[in-house]
């Protein structure tokens, strides 16, 4: 994968992680949640859908050659959130506070800081439409 595609993939991971975990600011508190705990309110299927989104983010992260131990941490984060998320209401509160996708994004970005520092510093403004023009 060339540098432009890697940047597009990284930005996709960033956007999905933030959408799932921090896209909505709760007024007067400054606390942010994403759609993950909201989707999780749907009994059964909600947690499955949230876990599928998180698994997709991990799949995208594997394209960066992330080490096994970091990948294991990422899978653990999603697994923990999936298991605890099955508990009605308490699981949704856990989802709102634990934010496994943001944790996994931090793991990936820490890896990229060491392996590809130029990619880590790249702006998040390139979109897939801009990529097609490159």
List the end-to-end C-alpha distance of the chain, in Å, as a whole number.
Answer: 14
Output the CA torsion sign for 67, 72, 73, 74: positive
* 8, pLDDT greater than 70: yes
- Judge contact between 12 and 108, C-beta under 8 A: no
Domain residues of the chain, as ranges?
Answer: 3-20+38-121
Q: Percentage of the chain with pLDDT > 70? A: 88
The dihedral over CA atoms of 101, 53, 68, 9, expressed in degrees to the nearest 10, equals -90
Residues 6+ apart with CB under 8 A from 23: 32, 33, 34, 35
Q: What is the pLDDT of residues 33-84, one digit of tens each?
A: 999 999 988 887 898 999 999 999 999 999 999 999 999 999 999 999 999 9
Q: What is the pLDDT of residues 65-77, one digit of tens each?
A: 999 999 999 999 9
Residues 6+ apart with CB under 8 A from 5: 131
H or E, element range at 20: helix 3-21
């Amino acid at each position: 994968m060339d540098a432009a595609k890697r940047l597009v993939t990284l930005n996709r991971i960033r956007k999905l992680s933030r959408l799932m975990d921090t896209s909505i600011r709760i007024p007067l508190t400054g606390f942010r949640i994403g759609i993950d705990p909201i989707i999780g309110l749907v009994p059964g299927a909600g947690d499955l859908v949230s876990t599928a989104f998180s698994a997709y983010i991990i799949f995208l992260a594997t394209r960066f050659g992330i080490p096994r131990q970091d990948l294991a941490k990422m899978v653990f984060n999603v697994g923990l959130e999936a298991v605890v998320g099955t508990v009605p209401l308490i699981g949704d509160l856990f989802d709102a506070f634990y934010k496994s996708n943001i944790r996994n994004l931090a793991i990936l970005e820490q890896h990229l800081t060491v392996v590809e520092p130029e990619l880590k510093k790249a702006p998040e403004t390139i979109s897939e439409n801009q990529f097609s023009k490159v």
